[in-house]
Amino acid sequence: MSAHAYKKKNPIWDWLTTVDHKKIGILYLVSGAFFFLLGGLEAILLRVQLLYPEFDFVGAATFNQLLTMHGTTMIFLAAMPLIFGFMNAIIPLQIGARDVAFPFVNSLGFWLFSAGGILLNLGWFMGGAPDAGWTGYAPLSTTSPGNGVDFYVLGLQISGIGTLIGGINFLVTIINMRAPGMTFMRMPLFTWSSFITSGLILFAFPALTIGLALLMFDRLFGTQFFAAEAGGNPIIYEHLFWIFGHPEVYILVLPVFGMFSEIIATFARKRLFGYSAMVFATALIGFLGFMVWVHHMFTVGLGPIANSIFAVATMLIAVPTGVKIFNWLFTMWGGKVSFPTANLFAVGFIPSFVLGGMTGVMLSVPPADYQYHDSYFVVAHFHYVIVGGVVFGLFAGFYYWWPKIFGTMLNEFLGKLHFWLFFIGFHLTFFPMHFLGLMGMPRRVYTYLSGQSLDEANFAASIGAFLMGIATIIMVWNIIQTAIKGKKAGNDPWDGRTLEWAISSPAPEYNFAQTPLIRGLDAWWLEKRAGNKGMVPAEPLDDIHMPDASILPFIMSLGLFIAGLAAIYSMWVIAIGGLVLTVVGMVIRSVIDYHGYHIHKEDLPAEGGKGK
C-alpha cells in the first residue's frame, strides 16, 4: 500500500525481507557458491588423505565425516541452491513475468534451505559431523555414536522442505505467469527443463522426507524401523532413499541441460536443433528417472527379476540422453560458433558428459555392476555426470548470465584460464578412478594398502583435484576483480535469443514495464531480426503491482532451526518453542492481509523495460 516504492531501506533488512525473485536468486547463488567452496575444500582434504597408501593426514573418523559432508554439501547445499539461484534469477525474465507465483513462499524456501544448511554444518563445531555417507544407510546411520547423523537428518529435513516449496512455486509460476503468446512450445529450454525438474522435486522429495523422518524416529524416539532384531529392515531405507535419490540426479542435471541448450544455440547463432525433440527427451528422462532407482541396489539381493527389469529401464534412459547430445552437436553444425568462457564450458561438457553416460550404460548391466558397485568406478561415473555435467553447466550458466544478474562483465582471460585448469584437473582426477575401481578399490575407504597397485592412479587423482582447486580460486579471484572494477554490461552482450536479453542488465525490480507480447520461439532474436529495438508490449503502460517484503520467512525458518538444534540434544521444551515460533509466523501470515503495493507509471524510467 505504500506509495513510495523507492524509499531508502536498510540493506541488511532489505536482503532479509526481500521477496524479489532476482534478489532471492542472488541469495541462492551466494550461499550455493559458499557451500560449493566448502564442499570443494572437503574434497581436497579427502584427496590429500589418499595421496599415498597408508598415509595419515586426517585419519579414519574424520575422513568418514569429510566424505559424508562432501557429498551432502555438494548435492544439497551447493548444486541445488545454485540451480535454484539460476531458476529464480532467470525464469521469470524468460517467460515475461513480473514475478513468481508465490514470492513469500519463494523467500521462505530460501531461508529454510539456509537454516538447514547451517544446521547440517554445525556438526563440525558440536562434536562431530555426520559420518554415515551422504546416503545415510541404516543401521550404520541409526547406530552411529554422537550427534553427527542427527545434524544430517534434521538439517536435510529442513532444507528439503525449502526445496519442495520452491519446486511448487516454479511449477505454478511457469504454468500461470507466462506472458501473452508465450505458449509452452515457445518456452526457452532452460525454463522447460526447470519446469520438469520442479515436477521431479515435487514427487521425489517427499520420499526423502519420510526416509529421514524414519531415521530420526529410530535415533531419537527408539522406534524399530531399521532394527533387524525387532523385525525392522534397513532395505526399506535404501528404497526410500533411492526413490528420491535417482530422480535427484535428474533434478540436478536437467536444468543444466537447459542451460547448455541456450548457451550452445546463442554462441552458434543458430536456433536450437530439434527443439520439440529436446523438450520431449527432457520429459522422458524425467519420467524414466522414477523407474530406475533399483539400479543403485543391484547388489542388495532383490533377485534377478527385479534386477533385470530395472536394468532394461535404466538402459532406456540412454536413448533420450543420446538424442540431446546429437541435437546439441547439430545445433552447432552449420553455425558460427564462438568460444567465450560460457561456451567453452558448454562445449567441454559434451565429451565429458558422454563419457559419464557411457559408464552409466555400463553400470546398468547388473552382472557387471556387481563388480563396479561401490567401487571407485562408480565414483568416477557419478563425478563425470555431476561435475562433467552439472558443475560444467553451472559454470557455463554463471559466465553466461553473470552480466544479466549483476550488470557487469567477468574477465574472459581469467575465465578461460579457469576453464582449462578445471577441465584438465577434472579429467586427471576422475579418469584414473575408473581403473582404480576395476582394480579392486572400494569407494569410501580412508586409505589403501601399499602393494595393491593402487598407488599411481590415486596420486594422479589427487594432483587433478588440486588443479581443480586452483581453477576454482581463479574463478573466485575473477569474481572479486569484477565486483571491484568490472566493465558495465549492455542489455544483450552475447547477442542472445531469449527474453531476458531484451531488458536492462540487471533487470529492474518490476522486470517488464509493460508485459511483452511473444511472437515465437527465441522471442528476442525474432524481434531483433525484424529490426525492432525492443519487445512489442502486450498491454498499455500502467501502475505495477508489487508484493510486500516480509521478515516472516526468516523468522519461520529460524524457528525450525531452533527446533532442529534443540531436538538433536533432546531439549524438548526449546524444540517445541522453535516449532511454536514457526507456527506463529504462519498464523501471522494467514491473519494479516498482504495486498502489496503499486509502482506508479509516472515513477517508471522513461524507456521503461524497453531496453536499448
Partner 1 sequence: MRAEEMSKLPANPERATLDGKNKFLGFWFFLGGETVLFASLFGVYLGLRNATNGGVTSNELFELPLVFIATMLLLTSSLTSVFATMALKTNHFKRMIGWFVVTALLGLAFLGLEIYEFNHYVHEYGHTMQSSAWGSAFYTLVGTHGAHVTAGIIWIALLIFRNMRRGMDLYTAPKFYLFALYWHFIDVVWIFIFTVVYLMGKVG
Partner 2 sequence: MQMKRWKNVWRFLPLLSVIALTLTGCGNEQLTALLPKGEGAEMQFNLMMLSLYIMIGVFVVVALIYTIVLLRFRRRGEDDNEIPEQTEGNVVLEILWTTVPIILLLILAVPTVMATFALDEGTDNPPEDALVIKVTAHQYWWEFEYPDLEIKTSQDLYMPTGERVYFELASKDVLHSFWVPTLGGKMDTNTATVNKMWLNANEPGTYYGKCAELCGPSHALMDFKVIAQEREDFDAWAEKMQNASSQAATDQAQQGEELFANSCIGCHAVGGEGGNTGPSLTNFGDREMVAGILEHTDENIKAWIAEPGEYKPGNNMPAFGDQLNDEELDALVAYLNGLKVEE
Distance CA 186, CA 192 (A): 9
Complex with partner 1: residue 199 or 432, whichever CB lies closer: 199
Of 256, 264, 281, the C-alpha closest to 353 is: 256
381 interface partner picked from partner 2, partner 1, none, CB below 5 to 8 A per type? none
Yes or no: say if 547 and 596 are a contact pair by the CB < 8 Å rule.
yes
Give Dmax over CA atoms of the chain in angstroms. 78
Residue 232 makes contact with partner 2 by CB under 8 A: yes
DSSP 244-293: HHHHHHHHHHHHHHHHHHHHHHHHHTSPPTTHHHHHHHHHHHHHHTTS-G
Answer for which of 233, 466, 548, 601 binds partner 2 (CB under 8 A) is: 233
519 interface partner picked from partner 2, partner 1, none, CB below 5 to 8 A per type? none
Distance CA 27, CA 32 (A): 8
Answer for which of 5, 44, 126, 300 binds partner 2 (CB under 8 A) is: 300
Residue 16 CB, nearest approach to partner 1 (Å): 24
Residue 592 makes contact with partner 2 by CB under 8 A: no
37 interface partner picked from partner 2, partner 1, none, CB below 5 to 8 A per type? none
439 interface partner picked from partner 2, partner 1, none, CB below 5 to 8 A per type? partner 2
Residues 108 to 147: which contact partner 2 by CB under 8 A?
A: 131-133, 137, 139-140, 143
Answer for which of 34, 287, 290, 330 binds partner 2 (CB under 8 A) is: 330
Residues 530 to 569: which contact partner 2 by CB under 8 A?
A: none
Candidate ranges 155-163, 167-175, 314-322, 384-392; the one touching partner 2 (CB under 8 A): 314-322
Give the number of residues in contact with partner 2, rule: CB under 8 A.
Answer: 100
Answer for which of 58, 172, 291, 318 binds partner 2 (CB under 8 A) is: 318
Residue 358 makes contact with partner 2 by CB under 8 A: yes
221 interface partner picked from partner 2, partner 1, none, CB below 5 to 8 A per type? partner 1
Distance CA 383, CA 411 (A): 27
Answer for which of 129, 174, 249, 323 binds partner 2 (CB under 8 A) is: 323
Which residues share a beta bridge with 545?
598
Answer for which of 3, 175, 319, 592 binds partner 2 (CB under 8 A) is: 319
Amino acid occupying residue 570: S
Residues 470 to 529: which contact partner 2 by CB under 8 A?
A: 529
Relative to beta strand 487-488, strand 408-409 is antiparallel
312 interface partner picked from partner 1, partner 2, none, CB below 5 to 8 A per type? partner 2
Task: Tell me which residue has cell 563425470.
Answer: 384
Distance CA 280, CA 185 (A): 11
Residue 153 makes contact with partner 2 by CB under 8 A: no
Yes or no: say if 342 and 263 are a contact pair by the CB < 8 Å rule.
yes
Which residues share a beta bridge with 546?
597
Of 418, 385, 406, 378, the C-alpha closest to 317 is: 385
Which residues share a beta bridge with 408?
488
Amino acid occupying residue 405: I
Residues 37 to 66: which contact partner 2 by CB under 8 A?
A: 59-61, 64
Amino acid occupying residue 497: R
Residue 164 CB, nearest approach to partner 1 (Å): 6
431 interface partner picked from partner 1, partner 2, none, CB below 5 to 8 A per type? partner 2
Q: Residue numbers of the site for partner 1 (CB under 8 A)?
A: 101-102, 105, 164, 168-169, 171-172, 175-177, 202-207, 209-211, 213-214, 217-218, 221-225, 227, 230-233, 236, 239-240, 243, 587, 590-591, 593, 595
- Start-to-end CA span in the chain (Å): 31
Residue 574 CB, nearest approach to partner 2 (Å): 32
Contact letters for partner 2, residues 381-420 (x by CB under 8 A): ---------------------------------------x
Complex with partner 1: residue 233 or 408, whichever CB lies closer: 233
Of 562, 549, 548, 557, the C-alpha closest to 585 is: 557
Distance CA 287, CA 498 (A): 27
What are the angstrom distances between the C-alpha of 346 and each of 84, 258, 267? 19, 11, 10
180 interface partner picked from partner 2, partner 1, none, CB below 5 to 8 A per type? none
What are the angstrom distances between the C-alpha of 56 and each of 122, 133, 161, 436? 25, 20, 39, 20
